[in-house]
């Protein structure tokens, strides 16, 4: 591996509406490195990557590639300088096919005037083969899962033939099998001397595929370390500026015997079948399983969004009308969905408006909004969950993932909920925000709220839950108490290898 500084960022500064996202950040990256950027949400990692990719323009500073100062004012400038980015947010044309999206802007032509569909499909098939994704390139993007969309984005970055590829939380929606395929691909790219910048909160990933890591905190550069010369604990300390202890929830001492939720024989054809369980007041019940096991589908059904569901759901003694969201809300059931940007927030609205939408009855009378009371309640709940924003009137899309998730939680906490269903509550969130959200969930359980927790991160499920239900292929296969559960045992049941030694 070469030792020269292939990419140099000098004194990069960027502000958004008076909020400093990056302040005089300088770092160097060698040719062929897989270079990690780490830090809490809001530290500036994604912003730095987007500046290099031409999505944001730095207010000041220099970008030097291979010894030459370059100006990157747009994604086209980045593309012309051999830079591409795999975004955490999906960015395709949903009504076009996979092949059309992969070839967008570079369609192969026949006779110079007509798209050569046969060659386009062949090129797309070759790209899909590289990422080991077995899917028809004629399939429309809108029909794909979030994980499949993410893998197509990775294929699209490779298709550009870039010398520099920026990965922004690329595994946040991938299954274990897809992560393995991605890591194999990244290792091949490193062998081709392509420079990779990898933004992730997942320590295990960083230590497996990266050779160096730079830490940012509050928009400022902290340090660059060789992976071989730093521990996970040291990295966390650099990220948050303090030591952090393993989380142990306090609600375990306050779990009640009252059954707040009873689910009987819940089924939805092709999704899950014969699901029955109880949840007690003040309890956190975890659901573990691989992608597609049916966990999220159960959450959606209980919340009232599955028109085909059958069975019985009782909340606090009252039988619920299935496939009826209004009835679920009236009975105190709320859902923090898996995809906060697509399903949990209205990105074009402000932080305050997102909070207020389900809570208008608290500060309006006869259709008239009491803006003073609204402001007071919003400030109160944002303070409770520690939302960091320069103004509650700021666009929610400009906030970090952790702060966006806190707003989703805040609006439902204010809704006087009895049952909170949280699906992947800390996906794509840094270690500091993750701990804060764990604390919020713990505190809610202490108040007597029942919580159903769905997470692909087994340490999260094990640390927070009093009981854990394992799902596989739409069925409940095993229930564990907190003391029984460990990662190895859960994985065995999740994958169907429980009988193997």
Q: What pLDDT, on a 0 to 100 scale, did the predictor assign at position 89?
A: 60
Q: Is the pLDDT reported for residue 61 higher than 80?
A: yes
Q: What's the whole-model pTM score?
A: 0.59
Does the pLDDT at position 62 exceed 90? yes
Q: Kindly state the average pLDDT of the residues 450-479.
A: 93
Q: Can you give 73-91 as a three-state secondary structure string?
A: CCHHHHHHCCEEEECCCCC
Look at residue 445 in the predicted model and tell me its pLDDT: 94
Is the pLDDT at 1 greater than 50, yes or no? Answer: no
Give the C-alpha distances (Å, rounded to integers) separating 420 from 188, 331, 384, 428: 43, 11, 17, 20
12, two tokens: 């990069």
User: Residue 59, exposed/middle/buried by CB under 10 A (0-12, 13-18, 19+)?
Assistant: middle
Kindly give the interhelix angle for 176-191 and 146-159, rounded to the nearest 10 degrees.
10
Residue 207 in this model has a pLDDT that exceeds 70: yes
**Tens of pLDDT along 69-104?**
999 999 889 989 999 888 766 567 888 888 888 887
Integer Cα distance of 375 and 382 in angstroms: 10
Q: What is residue 26's predicted lDDT score, i.e. its pLDDT?
A: 95
Mark residue 295 as left, alpha or beta (left: phi above 0; alpha: psi -120 to 50; beta: remaining): alpha
Closest CA to 448 of 255, 229, 211, 210: 255
pLDDT tens, position by position, 232-272: 878 878 887 765 554 568 888 888 889 999 999 999 999 99
Q: Which distant-in-sequence residues (6+ apart) come within 8 Å of 315 by Cβ?
A: 260, 261, 331, 332, 333, 418, 419
Lowest mean pLDDT among 128-142, 350-364, 414-428: 128-142
Q: Are 164 and 195 in contact (CB under 8 A)?
A: yes
Q: Answer whether 164's CB lies under 8 Å from 9's CB.
A: no
CA 170 remoteness from chain centre: 9
- Could you give the strand order of the β-sheet that contains 467-472, starting from the edge strand earlier in sequence? 333-336, 419-423, 450-454, 284-288, 467-472, 475-481
Classify 361 in phi/psi space as left (phi over 0), alpha (psi -120 to 50) or beta. Answer: alpha
108 pLDDT higher than 60: yes
Greater confidence (498 vs 425) lies with: 425
> What's the half-sphere exposure (Cβ side, CA atoms, 13 Å) at 420?
30
Mean pLDDT of the chain: 87
pLDDT digits over 143-165, tens only? 887 767 777 877 887 777 789 99
- According to the model, what pLDDT value does residue 333 have? 95
């Amino acid at each position: 591996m070469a030792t020269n500084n292939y990419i140099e960022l000098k004194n990069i500064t960027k502000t958004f509406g008076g909020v400093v996202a990056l302040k005089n950040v300088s770092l160097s990256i060698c040719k062929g490195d897989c270079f990690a950027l780490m830090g809490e949400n809001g530290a500036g990692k994604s912003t730095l990557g987007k500046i290099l990719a031409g999505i944001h323009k730095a207010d000041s500073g220099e970008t030097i590639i291979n010894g030459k100062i370059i100006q990157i004012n747009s994604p086209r400038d980045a593309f012309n300088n051999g830079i591409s980015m795999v975004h955490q947010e999906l960015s395709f044309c949903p009504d076009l096919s996979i092949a059309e999206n992969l070839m967008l802007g570079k369609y192969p032509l026949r006779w110079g005037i007509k798209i050569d569909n046969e060659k386009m499909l062949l090129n797309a098939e070759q790209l899909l083969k590289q990422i080991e994704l077995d899917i028809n390139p004629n399939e429309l993007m809108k029909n794909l899962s979030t994980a499949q969309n993410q893998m197509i984005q990775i294929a699209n970055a490779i298709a550009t033939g870039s010398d520099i590829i920026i990965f922004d939380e690329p595994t946040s929606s991938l299954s274990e099998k897809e992560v393995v395929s991605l890591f194999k691909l990244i290792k091949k790219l490193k062998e081709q001397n392509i420079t990779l910048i990898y933004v992730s909160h997942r320590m295990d990933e960083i230590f497996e595929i990266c050779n160096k890591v730079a830490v940012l905190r509050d928009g400022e550069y902290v340090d660059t370390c060789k992976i071989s010369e730093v521990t996970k604990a040291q990295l966390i300390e650099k990220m948050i500026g303090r030591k952090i202890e393993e989380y142990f929830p306090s609600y375990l001492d306050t779990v009640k015997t009252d059954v707040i939720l009873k689910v009987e024989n819940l089924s939805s054809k092709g999704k899950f079948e014969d699901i029955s369980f109880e949840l007690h007041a003040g309890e956190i019940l975890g659901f573990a399983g691989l992608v597609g096991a049916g966990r999220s589908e159960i959450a959606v059904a209980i919340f009232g969004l599955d028109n085909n569901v059958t069975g019985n759901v009782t909340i606090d003694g009252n039988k619920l009308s299935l496939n009826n969201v209004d009835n679920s809300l009236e009975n105190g059931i709320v859902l923090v969905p898996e995809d906060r940007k697509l399903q949990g927030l209205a990105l074009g609205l402000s932080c305050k408006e997102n909070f207020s939408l389900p809570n208008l009855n608290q500060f309006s009378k006869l259709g008239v909004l009491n803006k003073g009371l609204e402001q007071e309640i919003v400030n109160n709940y944002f303070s409770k969950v520690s939302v960091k924003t320069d103004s509650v009137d700021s666009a929610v899309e400009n906030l970090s993932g952790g702060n966006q998730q806190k707003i989703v939680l805040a609006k439902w906490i204010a809704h006087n909920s009895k049952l909170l269903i949280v699906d992947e509550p800390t996906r794509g969130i840094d270690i500091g925000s993750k701990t804060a959200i764990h604390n919020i969930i713990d505190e809610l359980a202490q108040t007597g709220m029942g919580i159903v927790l769905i997470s692909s991160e087994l340490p999260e499920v094990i640390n927070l839950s009093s009981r854990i239900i394992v799902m596989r292929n739409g069925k409940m296969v095993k229930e564990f108490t907190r003391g029984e559960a460990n990662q190895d045992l859960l994985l065995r049941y999740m994958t169907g290898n429980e009988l193997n030694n």
